[in-house]
Chain A
């Protein structure tokens, strides 16, 4: 992603940010409320009015394409608020995740795979997604994204509103998904300490500009980051 500008109507949110994600790595995008983290993810998937900038995924330029096409190119986005189809069952949600795929046998395998990651979803597979707990819904959202066999997974605040234990569980699974399947992950988080623990690289976003970027362990030791986001005095 290079030199990305994004705006909602007349309000400019992103002022030319550039991010580079290494294939197969986890990158965290940190920042305070309103810094433009969610907008960055939305702009990547053509969900905002983008004014300028280029987005490349594995040598393919995706900016200017429709959200549907970008999903078909292997970018799975778990949006802010999870985007679950609340009136459909768990299983139907997962089936929709695999909507673009025609390889039935592999899809059946992937059902087993996500049920292995999250056994709770198997128990709840006939249940309406709206009746699941917040943690289960987040598991479902991640699983739905995995069902598309993505190359890049965009996660918007997966820890939001969840109990620490559940967050830990989901983060563990994300590490496994990244390690075992080589899925690249771009993670937007307010919980900076957990995100930096998980990520290989991180960027710090402030009012629509990247102010810092580097290896996650370096950022963890950085004084500004420690003071502003990790609560160290």
Chain B
């Protein structure tokens, strides 16, 4: 029983990370109707920035904050410089741009920091907390940080004027323009926020999977499965999907299919959701009146 609970907690910790990346995917999907394949690599790149800062002697939380800001600026800049010119291009052209971004980030990270695996520090103590061994301090901390980020984002979208404007742009860009919202800047802001959320996820997962240029590959797949499971256009769904996938992956990996086949869970979920319920748990069905 204790072993099982341990798997569940570990699943919640990684699930929070999938939830964050899935949320970043959904945020960009809502405005572009495309999945940003480079989201994981952008997070990985930001994590390297944090690693560099920590190694230069900066305190962890200072490096953490600076990285979030840098990831925000990077995300917004990518939207303005790289995505804007292909705004009206065919879907496949944009997908190619996303794949290009993925490769650029990956190779750049390998070139700058080499492909050797690095350890990434955790801000949480390595000794057991509350005198129990069920869940490590890092897992508990990662869950906490994820929940804080999600709560902040929720409050931002729900209660601030800027958040309202961003929701308006996601729903109806044409009408948003008509009320005077600068749609272009809102899109850049969305990319910035997605980048920042991804960076937090990267820094939380790096102590578990170790830092290397390909560390987000599998995570992006799980996040994609999570976003689909929750409904690709539903932010709340993405978060629920993330935690579900995390727990499912850990428990199935430990008891049913073994750790080597864990990634299959994500792929099976993707295919399964698309076959059985393409709108996911909370997604909305697109109804078009003609």
Contact = CB atoms under 8 A, between A and B. Distances in A.
Contact of A71 (B165, B167, B177): B177
B179 interface: yes
Question: A interface, by DSSP: helix, strand, loop or mixed?
Answer: loop
A220 interface: no
B54 to A, nearest CB: 41
B177 A68 contact: yes
Contacts of A92: 164, 167
Q: Is the interface of B mostly helix, strand, loop or mixed?
A: helix
A86 B174 CA distance: 13
A225 interface: no
Contact of B164 (A67, A96, A148): A96
A96 B174 contact: no
A200 B207 CA distance: 72
Nearest to A129: B171
Contacts of B183: 68
Contact of B180 (A84, A85, A100): A100
B124 to A, nearest CB: 39
Contacts of A144: 179
B172 interface: yes
B175 A79 contact: yes
A68 B182 contact: yes
B178 A99 contact: no
A47 B167 CA distance: 21
Nearest to B167: A88
A99 B174 contact: no
A68 B181 contact: yes
A96 B179 contact: yes
B168 interface: yes
A66 B165 CA distance: 18
B90 interface: no
B178 A71 contact: yes
Question: Which of B172, B174, B175 has the most A CB atoms < 10 Å from its CB?
Answer: B175
Interface in A91-144: 92, 95-97, 99-100, 144
B181 A79 contact: no
A67 B167 contact: no
A85 B171 contact: yes
A221 to B, nearest CB: 36
A77 interface: yes
Nearest to A97: B179
A96 B171 contact: no
B172 A83 contact: yes
B171 A148 contact: no
B161 interface: yes
Interface string A33-73: 00000000000010100000000000000000011100110
Nearest to A141: B175
B168 A96 contact: yes
A16 interface: no
A87 interface: yes
Given A92-B164, A96-B168, A72 B180 contact: yes
A97 B161 CA distance: 12
A87 B175 CA distance: 13
Nearest to A72: B180
Most chain A C-beta atoms within 10 Å of own C-beta, residue among B165, B177, B178, B181: B178
A149 to B, nearest CB: 12
Contacts of A86: 171-172
Contacts of B175: 79, 83-85
A72 to B, nearest CB: 5
Contact of B171 (A67, A76, A87, A95): A87
A71 B167 CA distance: 19
Nearest to A79: B178
A85 B181 contact: no
| Interface-central residue, B174, B177, B179, B182, by most chain A CB under 10 Å | B179
Given A85-B167, A86-B171, A148-B180, 10 more contacts: A68-B183, A71-B179, A76-B178, A83-B174, A88-B167, A96-B168, A99-B165, A100-B179, A144-B179, A148-B179
For the complex of A and B, list the 6 residue pairs with the smallest distance between their C-beta atoms, beginning with the closest: A83-B175, A71-B180, A100-B180, A67-B177, A72-B180, A85-B171
Interface of B: 161, 164-165, 167-168, 171-172, 174-183
30 contacts: A45-B178, A47-B177, A67-B177, A67-B178, A68-B177, A68-B180, A68-B181, A68-B183, A71-B180, A76-B178, A77-B178, A79-B175, A79-B178, A83-B172, A83-B175, A84-B175, A85-B175, A86-B171, A87-B167, A88-B164, A88-B171, A92-B164, A92-B167, A95-B164, A96-B165, A96-B179, A97-B179, A99-B179, A99-B181, A144-B179
